[in-house]
Amino acid sequence: MSTTFQLDTATSRANPTPAPMKRLTVPAIQRRKVEGKTEEPLVMLTAYTARQAQILDPHCDILLVGDSLGQVIYGLPSTLPVTLDMMIAHGAAVVRGSYHSVVVVDLPFGSYEQSPEQAFATASRVMAETGCAAVKLEGGAVMAETIEFLSRRGIPVMAHVGLTPQAVNALGGYAARGRSQEEHAKILADGAAVAEAGAFAVVVEGVIEEIAIALTQSVEIPTIGIGGSARCDGQVLVTEDMLGMFERVPRFVKRYADLAGMISDTVAKYAEEVRARTFPGPEQTYQPK
């Protein structure tokens, strides 16, 4: 039986506890799409810490340790400066904090593009040091050889086509892709190429909706939309975006809460009590017996 790590309220330390269910597998994710259709869409969110993984895990099929952590956690201007050590540290934390979801870790920019051999060295280290089930890399047809190389050597790969943030400098920004016929055709060709190469699923980001629908209908593997279409086989969002942690979010994000506002209001209350010397009170201090 697998284990999950829960925070002990007495010590604030993670302690292994028997898991109430078996962890999903990559083949189980693939089997959700039958004869081109997925009856129950796949639920995927980003996670970067053990505690976050604990909270998200019961509700998700896939947890993505995205290189978006560069912006969300570290305040970097893009995903490009993210290092392999960052991804491994956060990937290991998310695996420790989950017991149900398939954990997928992004390969950071510059760690896999040079050759299939470079990609294998990076991916094998990520899997060995985090315990994750799969890796994700960006790129379509140009990465097909690498995807096939990894897949044949036992490393499950999730692909990523359409708007690929690691290529933001080449793309000229984060605008939706597929507005021209040429780009439309390229995205469909990229999706077909990664599926044929052995990717078990493909993220379709920031594309015109008809492209996301056409790609979903044309490939046998699940498509995970982010700025795609509700008709994709699943959806993913950056968790902090959908929880309302940031003022500015992409068009495709639905903010399900205003967590930043809640945190600010709570901290304001704490600050008020500290300055008024009403915290800590009798309940939070130790008295002689």
Whether 205 sits among the annotated catalytic residues: the reply is yes
Two tokens, residue 215: 């790609």
Two tokens, residue 11: 């010590």
What is the spatial distance between Cα 23 and Cα 222, in angstroms, rounded to a whole number?
19
What is the spatial distance between Cα 244 and Cα 229, in angstroms, rounded to a whole number?
21
Beta bridge mates, 44: 62, 236
SS3 for the chain is CCEEEEECCCCCCEEEEECCCCCCCHHHHHHCEECCEECCCEEEEECCCHHHHHHHHHHCCEEEECCCHHHHCCCCCCCCCCCHHHHHHHHHHHHHCCCCCEEEEECCCCCCCCCHHHHHHHHHHHHHHHCCCEEECCECHHHHHHHHHHHHCCCCEEEEEECCHHHHHHHCCCCCECCCHHHHHHHHHHHHHHHHHCCCEEEEECECHHHHHHHHHHCCCCEEEECCCCCCCEEEECHHHHCCCCCCCCCCCCCCCCHHHHHHHHHHHHHHHHHCCCCCCHHHCCCCC
What is the spatial distance between Cα 26 and Cα 221, in angstroms, rounded to a whole number?
11
Catalytic residue, from 39, 40, 205, 283: name it: 205
Annotated binding site for Mg(2+): which residue ranges? 67, 106, 138
Beta bridge mates, 5: 16
Catalytic residues: 205
